[in-house]
Structure 1
Amino acid sequence: MNLYRIAKWVVSIIFYPLFRIHVIGKANVPKSGPVIICSNHISNFDPPVVGITSPRSIYFMAKGELFENPLLGKLLTSIQAFPVKRGMRDRNALRKGLQILKAGHTLGLFPEGTRSKTGELRKPLAGAGFFALRSNAAIVPCAIIGSYKPFRRLKVVYGEPIPMETIRESKTSPQDTANIIMEEIQKLLDLHK
């Protein structure tokens, strides 16, 4: 059993009862082929929560500073996280993300790039649009709804994959594509609040 599975099991045992996690739409995540799960970002707990509720193993980008600590960097790498330099175009992170998708794996992204302190969606960065346009991945919107207060219900909603054919064919920009993804996340938030 690899460290990712062990971590998923341990976090599940703690988080499911603590936050009374309720998952909706798990079947919307394709069972095979490349997938990008795009979620809103309200807490540092979001990556583990998406990780334990997704039916598939996920690779996440994490801010590069976390990898500067050798021990933490090694741990993050062993649970399928990879570094991204924030505030600039990080070619290595973009290349790594595309390699993950090309291999048929699942990439987890938070298009806002940073946490929203108000819970309202922020303007997305173009990165999610870049990966959506440069791969043949299914794009699955995800909404995390709740406050992470102990023993209050937290909902994780997976929407149906966004139809990407027209978007890819019409040469939509990465930023506009990211905006479309955020609109789908907003629809989930509005529907399941």
Structure 2
Amino acid sequence: MGRASRAQAAEHREQIVAAASRMFREQGFQVGLAELTGAAGLTTGGFYRQFRSKGALQGEATERAFKELRALLAGFEAAGDGDRVAAREALIDYYLSPEHRDSAATGCPASALGADVARQPPGSPAKERYVHGVREVAGWLAEGAPDTADTAAPPREAEADGSAVPDEALAMLCTVVGALVLARATAGSPLSEQLLDTARTAVAASDR
């Protein structure tokens, strides 16, 4: 394969992963290959030249979604001149906002993909990347906690079972992810806004 052909193949692969990352978060893993390849402007045959299976794509799409989340976290840090506490507050405000609730396709994969990943078998590409991504986000939250900013274990040092991630950070992650899932499920009703507001108040109280 020539250099131009390899570059084109890499571009096609990136297009499929990007489209799948958005569509899986918005519609779930049940999205068909025809829809995925159509969104990327490719054929089903082209898909199988790039991926062994749909499961392999699910793994790469999950990884890409968490990569986008990491970029968002880095943006909050940059906006706060490296102040992780301020960055964490900015993340919470964004996470529990109506805008994020209504933007699943580009939003946090922890909430958008959780139900689908739960149905995947242990060791599947999507589950492995999801576990790593959730642990990473929890570690980031721990580093931004006022009382643990200097002592919390960074994500790369977490144990395989997640025990190195402080319980407080996991509790916060459970609160915001759970609230967002419920807010999306109840969107269009007053309860949806109340769920977001209540979770934001609970998180703020936990930092006092």
| Common fold: TM-score over 0.5 | no
Higher relative contact order (CA 8 A, sep 6+): 1
Output the TM-score relative to the length of structure 1: 0.29
TM-score w.r.t. the length of structure 2 is: 0.28
Quick check: which has more Rg, 1 or 2? 2
Higher strand share: 1
